[in-house]
Structure formats: structure tokens, C-alpha cells
A = this chain, B = another copy of it.
Amino acid sequence: MDVDIGPALSETASPGISREALDRLDERVTRAHERIERGRREEAFGYRSLSLPVETDPERLRRATASLAARDPEHLLLVGIGGSALGAATLADALTTPEDGDPETHVLDNVDPEHARRVLSAVDPAETVVVAVSRSGTTTETLANFLAVRDRFERADVDWTERTLVVTGEEGPLRRLADRHDLASLPTPPGVPGRFGVLSAVGLAPAALAGVDVEAVLSGAGEVDLEGSLYDCPAYAYGATAVALSARGARVNALVPYAERLETFGEWAAQLWAESLGKDGLGQVPARALGATDQHSQLQLYRDGPRNLTVTTVAPRERPALRLPGGEDTDGGTSDRPAVPEELSHLAGEDLGRVIDAEHRATVTSLSRAGRPSVRVETERVDARSLGRLLYGFEAACVLAGELLSVNAFDQPAVEWGKRAARGLLGEETAESRAVGDLPELRVEE
């Protein structure tokens, strides 16, 4: 990925960072980079994520997925949640085309009965393979959905054990299940938190079954060089700028891909950013949006609302062509081939990609003219190699941001309380579940 942090400079933006402050920040980036490199060398928890492009073995992925891939499935059911779903979903949504023969990927990452029922009734088990992903193997939502999936297969009299791949740690219910039924399985990578697992079996095994060229993803990611200066390293430039803007008041980071295929990437990045950095009162709230669509929804606020926000646009430089009709014959026309109306003549013969690019440029300028900061992230195109670089770049940016903020980017202690409470509400009472309902109530009813 390439970045342009110019629109975040205090020359035009408030909050914004001055060139002098950026130089000072760069000294901290250099030291943070040294810590990151040391963490990687020592294979410390979390830092190992940045070594996945070399550590992940595509041959092993291929072997583990071979028996399922050989079934030439029409549908892939991905059972996982959070980091165990978003990476694979990002890859599948960006890179596969069911209309052209790729399996259709369905993600069961919620415990919504209506949604689960719709997904399960939409797939024919005999044409479906299942990937269940949970690092701990204890995730309530994943286990509940897995039970529902298994039940669906059994009712259809299809042997689920021949069509299921499990990606999980060395212990836990899911691992025991895989052992007992001799399921295809892969381990989650050691030392890598779930949300950093996209470049491991967690993201790549389901992606491979969805039709993604995972070797190209890995090789793209492997091409990214991390260097100890933000001026030499787009990932660090992005992470450092985000931290600088956050410190100056931009506690919201609006993530705005300018490509429908990257909408799920925005979700993935939002998890990475929120769960890694949102601790100890620090971090930046990710606000997901989509360009150009959300210019008609959020731009008013970005431009004239609270000055607590920066915008990150993510756009490919190359897009497939879709030329609008018209061109020369825009005046006149006949009744059986009506002309492009005169008012639309500026669009006649135009390529749709040029329209979205124009909207993107106009929006960034519009923000800048209103004194609002933004950063542009660019990728060559939406393909496996470029996406590998983009994913790796965002991970590196996030790890750097954690260093600069002095937070542990690799844990998520604040979610445990709610998990224990939910578990207690469903099974044996816990201290946490006893507290549920013990809230001030002020109900207003119709």
C-alpha cells in the first residue's frame, strides 16, 4: 500500500500534525520499530503475527483443505466470529466471484436464529463444506452455530465429518471434536491473537476453499518491508499519523474504502483498530463507511460535525472498466434507441470507475477545504497480491500504533467480563451473570 498523509498536516487540517512534530514523532517510530523487530526475533506473543507471511506454509494449507476442495462445493459455510471470521470474509468478498464459479461463502458469525435458519435453508449440505474456526475452541457463538450446522447435515443425511475442516488450538472442545471424528484440521498459529490471524490458517484455509489464491495473498504480504522511519514505510506512516491525530483530538477514525469489494476489509480493519488499541482510555473509535455511497450519508458530519474525527480512504488505482452508453450520439436519438438526456451528457460514454475516482478526489479536497484531516491509502488494484500487502500494512500500522501509545495491542481483557456473564446466563450462574439485571432502570414505553 501507499499512503498520502499530506491532508493530515496542520497546514490545512485541524486537528492536524505539523511537519516538525512529524519529524519528532519519527524518532519514536524508529525506536518502536526496534522493539517490534526484537519482538519478532524473540517470537514474542503478538509480534509473531508479522512473521506469518514466511511462517505460514501454503503446502500444509493445501493438504488440509484438499479433501474438502475435491468435493467442488457450491457453498462454503464459515462458522466463526470476530477474528475467526473477518479475515476470511474479507478475502472472500474481495477476491471471489460466485457468479463465475467460486463457491458462495456464507458466514455464520452471529447467533441470530432467523439469520441462521435462512443461511442453513439456503444451502444444500450435499453441495456444501464447512470450516469452523475458534482459537480457544470454547467460543459460545461458534459452538452454538456449529451444533446447528451439524444438525442440518444430519437431517439431510449427509456425513458432516467428511465435509468439515476445523481450525483451532491444541486443546478445547473443538480440538477434541476434531480428534474424535477424525476431521480435517489445522492448528491456529501459536503466538498470534485471533484478529491478527488473517495470514495464517485462520484466514487462509477458509479463503482457499472459497476460491482465493492464498499463495498470492501471502506473497504480496511478504513483499512489505518494514523500515524504521515513517517516511520510508507506508504502514508506519499510517499508524504514526493516526496516533498523532488521535492525540490532537481525532478520537474517531472513519474507515472509508472506495470499492464495494473492500467493504468487508473495512470491518476487518475496524476490529483490528478497536480491539488492539481501545484500552486504558486510549485508542480511536473506528467508524465504518463506504465510498462513494456514504458521501450521501456521513460527509455532512465529517465536514461540519465535531472536530473529533479523521477520515481514512482506501482506494485501488486500477478498476475494471464499465463504460456508460452514449458518447457521440447524445443529441437527438430515436424513439427505439433514446438518447442520453442532454442533462446527463457529461456522463455519456464516461467510465464508471472515473466517476468514483472523481468523487473520491472531490471528497478528500472537500474535507481539506473544511480544515478536516484525512489520509489516503492506495492499493494497486483489488487482487490477491495487493490485498495481501494491504492487510499486512494495516497490521503493521496497528502494531506500531500500539507501541506509540504504550498499550498492549495483542490482548482484549475488557471483553472477558461479558463472556463470563453470558455463559452464566446460559448455564451455571457466575458472579458476572448474577450482576445482570442489577442496573438502574428508567424505562419509557409507548
What are the residues of chain B within 8 A of A426 when measuring CB–CB?
346-347, 350, 354-355, 358
Q: With an 8 A cutoff between CB atoms, is A324 at the interface?
A: yes
> Assuming the A-B contacts A7-B439, A425-B362, are A305 and B274 also in contact, with contact meaning beta carbons closer than 8 angstroms in the complex?
yes
Query: Is A418 touching B366 in the complex (CB atoms < 8 A)?
Result: yes
Copies in the complex: 2
Q: With an 8 A cutoff between CB atoms, is A72 at the interface?
A: no
6 A-B pairs closest in CB distance? A278-B301, A82-B296, A346-B427, A278-B305, A113-B322, A362-B421
Query: Is B305 touching A279 in the complex (CB atoms < 8 A)?
Result: yes
Query: Is B138 touching A343 in the complex (CB atoms < 8 A)?
Result: yes
> Assuming the A-B contacts A181-B338, A347-B144, A426-B355, are A362 and B436 also in contact, with contact meaning beta carbons closer than 8 angstroms in the complex?
yes
Query: Is A259 touching B114 in the complex (CB atoms < 8 A)?
Result: yes
User: Of residues 168 to 221 in A, which have CB atoms within 8 Å of B's CB atoms?
Assistant: 172-173, 176-177, 180-181, 195
The CA of A278 and the CA of B437, in the complex, are separated in Å by 34
Q: With an 8 A cutoff between CB atoms, is A56 at the interface?
A: no
A 268-304 binary contact with B (CB < 8 Å = 1; else 0): 0011001101111111111110111111111111111
Q: With an 8 A cutoff between CB atoms, is A341 at the interface?
A: yes
The CA of A319 and the CA of B445, in the complex, are separated in Å by 20
The CA of A55 and the CA of B426, in the complex, are separated in Å by 47
Name the distance in Å between A437's Cβ and chain B's nearest Cβ: 7
What are the residues of chain B within 8 A of A274 when measuring CB–CB?
297-298, 300-301, 305
Query: Is A365 touching B439 in the complex (CB atoms < 8 A)?
Result: yes
> Assuming the A-B contacts A6-B441, A337-B154, A343-B173, are A418 and B362 also in contact, with contact meaning beta carbons closer than 8 angstroms in the complex?
yes
> Assuming the A-B contacts A7-B440, A319-B114, are A324 and B355 also in contact, with contact meaning beta carbons closer than 8 angstroms in the complex?
no
Chain B, residue nearest A114 (CB): B320
What are 12 of the A-B contact pairs (CB < 8 Å)? A3-B444, A4-B442, A4-B444, A82-B296, A114-B320, A140-B347, A147-B347, A176-B341, A252-B287, A278-B306, A286-B298, A365-B438
The CA of A347 and the CA of B301, in the complex, are separated in Å by 44
Q: With an 8 A cutoff between CB atoms, is A40 at the interface?
A: no
Q: With an 8 A cutoff between CB atoms, is A417 at the interface?
A: yes
The CA of A4 and the CA of B444, in the complex, are separated in Å by 6
Query: Is A6 touching B347 in the complex (CB atoms < 8 A)?
Result: no
> Assuming the A-B contacts A141-B292, A369-B435, are A412 and B300 also in contact, with contact meaning beta carbons closer than 8 angstroms in the complex?
yes
Query: Is B418 touching A352 in the complex (CB atoms < 8 A)?
Result: no
Chain-B contact segment, one of A44-52, A57-65, A124-132, A229-237: A229-237
Q: With an 8 A cutoff between CB atoms, is A28 at the interface?
A: no
Q: With an 8 A cutoff between CB atoms, is A370 at the interface?
A: yes
When the two chains form the complex, which single residue of B260, B277, B284, B421 contacts A110, counting CB atoms closer than 8 Å?
A: B260
A 129-155 binary contact with B (CB < 8 Å = 1; else 0): 000000000111101100110110010
Q: With an 8 A cutoff between CB atoms, is A321 at the interface?
A: yes
What are the residues of chain B within 8 A of A122 when measuring CB–CB?
99
What are the residues of chain B within 8 A of A267 when measuring CB–CB?
297
Q: With an 8 A cutoff between CB atoms, is A86 at the interface?
A: yes
The CA of A370 and the CA of B11, in the complex, are separated in Å by 39
When the two chains form the complex, which single residue of B11, B81, B308 contacts A293, counting CB atoms closer than 8 Å?
A: B81
What are the residues of chain B within 8 A of A350 when measuring CB–CB?
144, 426
When the two chains form the complex, which single residue of B138, B292, B306, B417 contacts A369, counting CB atoms closer than 8 Å?
A: B417
The CA of A297 and the CA of B264, in the complex, are separated in Å by 13
Q: Which of A12, A109, A138, A354 has the most CB of B within 10 A?
A: A109
Q: With an 8 A cutoff between CB atoms, is A15 at the interface?
A: no
Name the distance in Å between A233's Cβ and chain B's nearest Cβ: 7
When the two chains form the complex, which single residue of B83, B112, B299, B444 contacts A296, counting CB atoms closer than 8 Å?
A: B83
The CA of A356 and the CA of B382, in the complex, are separated in Å by 35
Q: Which of A320, A326, A446 has the most CB of B within 10 A?
A: A446
Q: With an 8 A cutoff between CB atoms, is A115 at the interface?
A: yes
